[in-house]
Structure 1
Amino acid sequence: MPKKRSGGGLSPAQQAAKFLGVSVLAGAVMAGIALPAVGALGLAAKGSVESFDELPANLKTPPLSQRTTILDSDGGQLATVYSRDRTVVDLKDISPYMQKAIVAIEDSRFYEHGAIDLKGVLRALNKNARSGEVSEGASTLTQQYVKNVFVEEAGDDPTKVAQATQQTIGRKIAELKYAIQVEEELGKKKILENYLNITFFGQQAYGVEAAARRYFSKSAKDLNLQESALLAGLVQSPSRYDPVNDEAEAKKRRDVVLRRMAQVGAVSQAQVDEAVEAPLGLKVSKPKNGCITAVNDAGFFCDYVRNVFLNDPVFGKTKEDRARIWNQGGLTIRTTLDPQAQNSVQQSLKDHVYKSDEVAAATTLVEPGTGKIVAMGQSKPYGTNAKQHETVINYSADQKLGTSNGFPTGSTFKPFVAAAALEEGRPATQEYPSPYELTVPSPIQTCGKPYTNEDGTKIPNENESEKGPYRLKKAMALSVNTYFIEMVADIGLCPVTEMTEKLHVRQGSGKELPQVPSIALGTESVSPLTMASAYAAFANRGMYCTPIAIEAVTQQVGETKKSLEVPKSTCSRAMSEGTADTINALLKGVVDSGTGQQAGLSDRDSAGKTGTTDERRNAWFVGYTPNLSGAVWVGSASQQVKMRNITIGGVHHDLVYGSDTPGPIWKDAMTGALAGKEAESFVPVHIPDPEEKDEDDRDKPGRDDGDNGDNGDGGFIGGLVSGGNGNGGGNGSGGTGDTEPDPGFSAPEGFIRGAGTGPGGRD
């Protein structure tokens, strides 16, 4: 049986014709346009109906934009973000008082007329004619709902919003047609529900549920009579009647609504009299929108999640597609952030670096084997208030996902060189002369044109007592610059950059690392997240896993809830298990007896590397346990602060090292993050120490520090003699390399960037 038309059996076009035939001038009045005569329109009813029929058959009703909720890995709420703060609710979850109030003040004959209230049109026309101005309109709730749909579809585009709200006959005709369609398809209750969910109530609140929570900190279903009347009164002019800014004006409007409710019989006069005497009863909740509201100081991680969503093709083929989904909202995003780890990171940062300090610090923790980012924090708070030392630059991420270009890594890069050498077949006992100062060897093989030291660049160690020969274990522990330059000269630069590509180590700008010797000393800018993820491959026995921040996403669109595909961590082998295990043993030595002793964990296996760049503009510690990897950077975002004679976190430093500031931050952050977690162990690897004087080692010419052997003739060109690589051994060092240096070092200022050189690092 055909559905009965609300317009008395007339078709939509016939209803419109009847309406328009009553008076085109009335339509003009409804549109808010004062016209002297019908003839001035140049528009007959017939022409209007033709325009009416040319409109698309169905109203495009985009899903209502809603808030998005970002959760941590335990399901706790981190933040809410939205383009429009809205929570869609069913009519049954909206107070009956609210339903009655909005009908009474906006369209008291809502349940009696169809999509168009002809009696209301004539009443408005008569009143406006008598007053000589447009003082009253006649839009029904259904028409208002349709107009709001136009506005919702326009989104945040100001041009489209203007078109959706412009007071013209053309827009009114479209509004009328679709109002008739909506009445026929939805019915009164659904229209009322939709209207209450789409309407703007001021204070960034869209829909009655958001409004109830904003003004009264309660759900829409719990609104009483006077609260409902106040919200209903806001619809006409949310700014004029805003109770937060003008309680007196808001109360006047509320009381108008209450009296109107009594007039139309929605409530009794006694109820109204009591409600009028009641105060507004506001309990305002401030809008909580965006990453600035994130708990656990997770604003930077929240922003990283947003950037991942807007940039990863998994969430949409184009940037516009992804932005549309994000702005649509209704998303619930469960992230990888571990609240225990995040709290530990932030507490450690607060303990060691003050937000008002000249420099900042950033820490990121990543889970080996899964790539999950479990913590991301920094000492400067998230925000835009420079006076409060806030920033929105995420120092932990690269440019694409955090607007930072990264920072020179110093000696934390050296393990990548060592891993490349081990993969090339060099032994863990590899020895180089490692003089105090070294002219960079030339040529050095690259993946293309060989590097040549055309300027005769020289690389020194920290002090003259540092001279070899050194083996890899001690060179790593003491972070000997000349040793790693010799290692690069030995194996070539191509294996090093191939290793870093496997570990996804690139500059913060996204560019590949240059094939120049200075990369061995950490001259290029890399993000803490990149470094933590790369070191996680050592902990994971050579398997690199791409970092991820999102575990699951669902989206509620109307009554439909669906799961979205999310980016997955992809794992690939970057090096053999043996190489990774050996690096673990080498870096364990750094925290046990080398430059990183202040970062060592007492209750579990740990490994890591310090780094300090030229002029002490950056200090790093990157370290890991078998089940957690973390990177800590300290410095200035501008790279202008030289960390000499400086106070950080209330502690004065003559010189800042990776060992004495980033190291303790890492230690405290990891200690809290791992509390209660299993203390796993690295696969043990024994690396012979020349000071052990074992029988096999003693018989090898030139291997013992302090023992003079005959000059060999089978070493590398340019004096890169490795004892045992020829007929005889090289000259011994006389034991000078055994002298313990200061806890951290930096290459001197004269180490010029360019032609394979740059700010070196040594801790």
Structure 2
Amino acid sequence: MPKKRSGGGLTTTQQAAKFLGVAALSGAVLAGIALPAVGALGLAAKGTVEGFDEIPSNLKTPPLSQRITILDNEGGLIATDYSRDRTVIPLKDISPYMQDAIIAIEDSRFYEHGAVDLKGILRAMNRNVQAGGAAQGASTLTQQYVKNVFVEEAGDDPDKVAEATQQTLGRKVRELKYAIQVEEELGKKKILENYLNITFFGQQAYGVETASQRYFSKHAKDLKLEEAAMLAGLVQSPTRYDPVNDAEEATKRRNIVLQRMAAVGSISQDEAEKAIATPLNLDVSKPNSGCITADSGAGFFCDYVRKTVLTDPTFGKTHEERAKLWNLGGLTIRTTLSPRAQEAADEAATSKVYKDDKVAASVVQVEPGTGKILSMAQSRPYGLDQNKHQTMLNLGVSNKMGGSTYGFQVGSTFKPITAAAALEKGISPAESYTTDWKISLPLNSFRDCSGAPTGSDNWDLVNELESEKGTWDMTSALGKSINTYFAKLEQKTGLCETVEMAKKMGYERGDGKEIEENASITLGGEVSTPLSMASVYATFANRGTYCSPVAIESITDANGKKLGVPKTECSRAMSEKTADTISQMLKGVVEDGTGTLAGLSDRDNAGKTGTTNDRLDAWFVGYTPNLSTAVWVGDDVGEKTTKMFNITIGGQYYDKVCGGCLPGPIWKTAMTGALNASETPSFQPVQVPRGKEKEEEKDKGRDEGAGGGNDNDKPGADPIGGITLPPGFIGGNDGRGRGGNGP
């Protein structure tokens, strides 16, 4: 079709004067462009044109919002997310039928007029006068495109949308000037391409490519004549002609488009009649947006990625900047998620703890040396339907990233941190203490980092069993998880040194607050998250170097430009010798200590069990040289009142849940599935000095506790769910893990 330049070479002001002059002369209301008679407003055409010249001459076209694609580390799709579901494509990838159909029904003289179709205006005015109302419009495709630009720029702000669509003379004049500019700068084909990419087609589909996928599950370049006609008919009223909800109305509208195409010569009458006789033949693809669409239980990881973009300064200095980036979309985000590890973690979490159990399980895996988060799974599915036991609460991460209010008390999984601090201070693994089942330590012997004592009373604490009395060195105390030993070890090492070691290893509270410097920290009285604990133990696996966790490998925008992403930050927390020594000692936990049910028989592995008072929380955290995994099981709802005694979880009855008997097997399943059988790196060999050990009674099969699990009536005991706390200690670290402020 031949093209004609806008207005036959007239200047912008001349074109506007000609247009407004016609409108003023008619003295009629023009429905299609909603331009009231100029005289009715008391405005002369000359004055309107002067105002026209005052409108800024450059239309700032915002980039079109598009979908975000989130991929795993192999390039597989995890999920898509969008504020507006749109995929921008070039005109060459749009069926010629679609191009002809939209022109025929919306602006049949598109290639013959400029920004304004004066013949169309006169025709519309005549029809409207005859009809006595708004029977026909006269906006060109270019004018419609400009209007859609204003709507796109308004986003989801209802006030801005109303302003962009209000039927006023001022808006129409502004649209006119920008339409003239667009015609001069872009040309017809580019305008048509932009129009087909920006237009709303209903069913959350913006742009013809998404619309084609939504209604026919095919690319826009593959649309047949009758399919293109149906889509073109939707533009006038996506709700009225929605084929999903009213096939009859959609068919009538489609047939009108086909007849119009025949009338203007785009197709023959025979082609039109054949297409009219064809059913709609919809093949609808439902809108899928957000992390709820993620497969293999990866919804929580997907949500963590989204929150990373919305909170990390790498993506903008302010929340508004980061939110704008996400809402604009068009991003392809390649993440660190390993599909193999995620599948294994999901199976481990859901096979041993059911979604409708009273308690929940969380599994997080991190790669030592890189900080890459390889999996993030839990027993309750991601979603909003509570009847299906779904939740949006990510039990594996901090409150800021969608987790519980505080996190969860970690129990005896903290003890290796104390051991590392002791080794760094020069204390030998052979350091031995002879203790009774119960001991009492003066709190003024524990000083925080300011040098102040943590209290003036005594700290009374106990071991799990009365038989746990005797002489212990560091190795045996870790293997048996002896509370009294680690209280005395912390006393010698120093509370401040212990806390500082935890910080160096990436230990963080779930609520983002500073670690509280209390003596009970060595027994797990402080709260944290599975992601934090997996990262802490990855420090041991990485021979003493901590690497901060990361979830994103790369991001490209809609134009293929690479964006900066957060990088892991690695720093040495302890010497290689200290880390290697801890690994050798923790091997004993899985070989003949409290974690024997978790042990992997085909490779070096190490780990630590942990529980809290009343069995409100149970943990197993462990690692190989190339993978660190943290498993938590506990009450994830409300006030944390579910005590894991005499309870059925995952179809299995437990008289009491212990770190080694439920989190341990979950850990083993997750590790076995995630690890490559052909890759079995070993820990660095190191000789660990041993002290003289004397036990009054050996009981290798019993489980460890986190200290005084049955002593909640003792003075200073935490009545909610921790270890035996020092007298007078009332902290914010009670590990209740309330989910009330989750997303």
TM-score computed with the length of structure 1 as normaliser: 0.91
List alignment gaps of at least 5 residues for structure 2: 719-724, 736-743
Matches within 5 A, 1:135-174: 135-174=135-174
Contact 2:34 2:172 in 1 (8 A): no
Cα distance change, pair 26–490 in 1 and its aligned pair in 2 (3 A): farther
**1:400-450 per-position Cα deviation (integer Å, ceiling 9, x unaligned):** 112323211111011111111111111001112332112232311221143
Q: Residues of 2 paired with 1:676 and 1:296: CA distance?
A: 22
Q: Deviations over 1:350-369 (max 9, x none)?
A: 21111111111110100000
Distance 1:677-1:48 versus aligned 2 partners, 3 A rule: farther
Aligned position for 1:605: 604
Aligned-pair CA distance for 1:760: 10
* TM-superposed deviation, 1:394: 0.9
Q: Within 5 Å, which residues of 2 pair with 1:179-198?
A: 179-198=179-198
CA distance in 1 between partners of 2:458 and 2:730 (Å): 11
- Measured in 2, the distance between the counterparts of 1:131 and 1:208 equals 33
Distance apart, 1:53 and its partner CA: 1.3
Query: What corresponds to 2:393 in structure 1?
Result: 393
Match of 2:413 in 1: 412
> C-alpha distance in 2, partners of 1:227/1:466?
78
Residue 649 (str. 1) matches residue 650 (str. 2): yes
SS in 1 for 2:442: coil
Runs (4+) of structure 1 moved beyond 6 Å? Answer: 757-761
Deviation at 1:30, TM superposition (A): 4.2
Cα displacement (A) at 1:509:
0.8
**Selected match of 2:703 from 743, 747, 755:** 743
Quick check: 1:295 aligned with 2:255? no
Which structure 1 residue ranges, 5 or more long, are not aligned?
A: 691-702, 706-734
Question: What residue is the counterpart of 2:223 in the other structure?
Answer: 223
The 10-residue stretch of structure 1 (390-399 or 4-13) with the greater mean CA deviation from structure 2: 4-13
Pairing 1:30-429 to 2, within 5 Å after superposition? 30=31, 33=34, 38-404=38-404, 405-429=406-430
Describe how 1:691-706 pairs up with structure 2 within 5 A: 703=692, 705=694
Cα deviation 1:513-565 (Å, max 9, x = unaligned): 11111111112221100000010000000000011111111112xxx421111
Cα pair distance change 1:434/1:173, threshold 3 Å = farther
User: Which amino acid in the other structure matches residue 609 of structure 2?
Assistant: T
Does the aligned pair in 2 maintain the 1:406–1:526 contact within 8 Å?
Answer: yes
Cα drift, residue 32 of structure 1: 6.1
1:670 Cα deviation from its structure 2 partner: 0.3
SS in 2 for 1:608: strand
Deviations 1:648-679 (A, max 9, x none): 11001111111111100000110010033410
CA contact (8 A) 1:522 1:760 kept: no
Equivalent-residue separation in structure 2 for 1:367 and 1:677 (angstroms): 17
The worse-fitting range, judged by mean Cα deviation, of 485-494 and 605-614 is 485-494
Provide Cα deviations, 1:303-327, integer angstroms capped at 9, x if missing partner.
1111111111112222212211111
Equivalence for 1:550: 552
Q: 1:624-643 residue pairs with structure 2 within 5 A?
A: 624-638=623-637, 639-643=640-644
The equivalent residue for 1:467 is 469
Change (3 A) 1:34 1:209: closer
Q: Which of 520, 523, 530 matches 1:521?
A: 523
Q: CA offset at residue 126 of structure 1?
A: 2.0
Question: Aligned with 1:598: secondary structure?
Answer: coil
C-alpha separation between the residues in 2 aligned to 1:677 and 1:375? 20
Verify: 1:497 aligned to 2:496, yes or no: no
**1:482-493 residue pairs with structure 2 within 5 A?**
482-493=484-495
State the Cα distance separating 1:49 from its structure 2 match.
Answer: 1.3
Corresponding residue for residue 662 of structure 1 = 663
Letter in 1 for 2:503: E
SS in structure 2 of the partner of residue 364 of structure 1: strand
Matches within 5 A, 1:6-21: 6-21=6-21
Change (3 A) 1:469 1:583: same
Question: What SS does the aligned partner of 1:365 have?
Answer: strand
In 2, Cα distance between equivalents of 1:22 and 1:568: 62
Tell me: CA distance 1:756–1:592, structure 2 relative to 1, closer, same or farther (3 Å): farther
Q: For the residues of structure 2 that align with 1:530 and 1:490, how far apart are their CA atoms? A: 26
How do residues 680-699 of structure 1 correspond to structure 2 at under 5 angstroms? 680-690=681-691
Which position in structure 2 is the counterpart of 1:710?
none
RMSD between superposed Cα atoms in Å: 1.9
Distance 2:199 2:4 in 1: 28
The amino acid that maps onto 2:705 is F
Does the Cα contact within 8 Å between 1:31 and 1:168 map onto a contact in 2? no
Q: Is the 8 A contact 1:26 1:122 kept in 2?
A: no
Structure-2 change in CA distance of 1:55 and 1:28 (3 Å): farther
Q: Which residue is equivalent to 2:443?
A: 442
Map of 1:456 onto structure 2: 458
Any idea what SS the aligned residue of 2:620 has?
strand
The one-letter amino acid of 1:70's match is: I
2:500 and 2:473 mapped to 1: Cα distance? 24
Distance 2:104 2:693 in 1: 97
Partner amino acid for 2:49? V
Contact kept? 2:454, 2:519, Cα under 8 Å: no
Query: 1:545-591 CA deviation, whole Å, 9 max, x = no partner?
Result: 011111111112xxx42111111111100001111011101111111
Equivalent residues, number: 714
1:383 to 1:156, Cα distance in 2 relative to 1, 3 A: same
Aligned 8 A contact 2:4 2:112 in 1: no
**SS of alignment partner, residue 377 of structure 1:** strand
Task: Output the amino acid matched with 2:530.
Answer: P
Tell me the amino acid that sits aligned with residue 7 of structure 1: G
Give the CA deviation at 1:284: 0.4
Cα–Cα, structure 1 residues 459 and 271, in superposed 2: closer, same or farther, change >3 Å?
Answer: same
* Paired residues of 2:23 and 2:35 also in contact (CA < 8 A): no
From 536, 555, 572, the equivalent of 1:534 is 536
CA contact (8 A) 1:27 1:172 kept: no
Structure 2 CA distance, aligned partners of 1:38 and 1:350? 70
The Cα of 1:454 is off from its aligned counterpart by: 3.6
- CA deviations on 1:627-665 (whole Å, 9 max, x unpaired) are 000000111223221111111110011111111111000
In 2: Cα distance, 1:47 partner to 1:34 partner: 15
| Superposed displacement of residue 159, structure 1 | 1.5
How far off is 1:452 after superposition? 4.1
| Shift in Å, 1:502 | 0.6
| Structure 2 counterpart of 1:569, one-letter code | T
Change (3 A) 1:760 1:171: closer
**Is 2:442–2:457's contact at 8 Å kept on the other side of the alignment?**
no
CA contact (8 A) 1:505 1:534 kept: yes
Query: How far 1:136 moved relative to its partner?
Result: 2.0
Q: Paired residue for 1:675? A: 676
Please give the secondary structure, in 2, of the residue aligned with 1:189: helix
2: CA distance, partners of 1:174 / 1:630: 60
Shift in Å, 1:97:
0.6
Pick closer, same or farther for the CA change 1:34–1:177 going to 2, 3 Å: closer
* CA-CA distance at 1:246 after TM superposition: 0.8
User: d(CA) in 2 for partners of 1:499 and 1:653?
Assistant: 35
Distance in 1 separating the partners of 2:277 and 2:441: 88
1:462 partner SS: coil
1:43: Cα distance to partner? Answer: 2.0
Q: Which amino acid aligns with 1:425?
A: G
Deviates more, 1:744-753 or 1:460-469: 744-753
TM-superposed CA distance for 1:456, in Å, is 3.5
